[in-house]
Amino acid sequence: MEHAVHDNKDRHRFELIVDGHTAFSEYKRTPALITITHTEVPKELGGRGVGTALAHGLMELIRAEEIKVKPLCPFVKAYIGKHPEYADLVA
């Protein structure tokens, strides 16, 4: 996927915009921890790997910040379970 995940700090969520639709993962943040609470992919983007691209992108952003993640969102939690290279980021 060519689109980049970005951190919309004003709305407290990571976003991925595809074909004019926004997939997002909401979070709560402290200086050392991001808690992912909810992920939503618009139905127009379903089945295209957008959720996976969003999860991958947000994990890369978290790694770059050198902080930890607490995945309360079932989708992101499952993504991390399938991608052990991110296990070291889990609080």
Can you tell me which residue has the tokens 């309360």?
72
Determine what percent of the chain is predicted with pLDDT higher than 90: 97
CATH fold of 6-89 reads Aminopeptidase (3.40.630)
| CB-based contacts of 3, cutoff 8 Å, min separation 6 | 16, 17, 18, 53
Identify whether the C-beta of residue 70 lies closer than 8 Å to the C-beta of residue 34.
yes
pTM, 2 dp: 0.94
Average pLDDT over every residue of 14-39: 97
Delimit the domains of the chain by residue range.
6-89
- 8 Å CB contact between 33 and 67: yes
| Helical ranges in 12-49 per DSSP H | none
Mean pLDDT score, 47-57: 96
Among residues 84, 19, 22, which one has the least CA distance to residue 54?
22
Alpha-carbon span 82 to 1, nearest angstrom: 19
